[in-house]
Amino acid sequence: MFTGLISDLGQIRSVESRGDTRIIFETAYDTAGIEIGASIACSGVCLTAVEKGPGWFSSDLSAETLARSTAADWRAGTAINLERSLRLGDELGGHLVYGHVDGVGALAERHADGDSHRLVFSAPADVLRFVAVKGSIAVDGVSLTVNRVSDEHFEVTIIPHTARMTTLGQCQPGAPVNLEIDMLARYVQRLLAKD
């Protein structure tokens, strides 16, 4: 489980096709403190650290993960939002993020708004039905508050700090993004569907 507060802007060192796909991530984390088997959110995708060394860790991605996220497009040099999993007692500053991608959207528009930026994302209908104004959504693993919702889009604002510390600062229209809806919305919908 994660908070959606990115703690490192890493990048992909290499991608290797095997039975699954092995990706090596470069990071500023002290990898001595990462246990093999630990969960790390990589641009919103919860992955397992299977190897590590100074300044890097690797994960294996299944065909299912590649099919349901932007991970199939990741290449050497791709910038990646990284977040270590929560530990009991950690501050929950964003919202509960699970690293389970619900769909892939795309940046549709980007507008300056003072020093901040308004970002408009397209999203699949089965994701948008769970998005609410002033609710939370994770975009490439970043916890964001929704400003507006339409039939095909939702809008968020990122402040300069978020732009500097995440991939969203350089994201350009047309770029695909991983989307994860708020878990509370998912459970409310499930409960209402049973009535």
Q: Which domains does the chain have, with CATH numbers?
A: 8-84 (2.40.30.20), 103-193 (2.40.30.20)
Measured CA distances, 5 to 44, 77, 172 (Å): 11, 22, 21
pLDDT, tens digit only, all 195 positions of the chain: 899 999 999 999 999 998 899 999 999 999 999 999 999 999 999 999 999 999 999 999 999 999 999 999 999 999 999 999 988 777 777 788 999 999 999 999 999 999 999 999 999 999 999 999 999 999 999 999 999 999 999 999 999 999 999 999 999 999 999 999 988 877 777 778 765
pLDDT for res 188: 79
CB 42 within 8 A of CB 21: no
Count each helix (H run) and each strand (E run) in the chain, helices first.
4, 13
Element at 153 (helix H, strand E): strand 153-158
Give the pLDDT score at 92.
Answer: 74
- Its pTM stands at 0.94
What's the token pair of residue 92? 């929950």
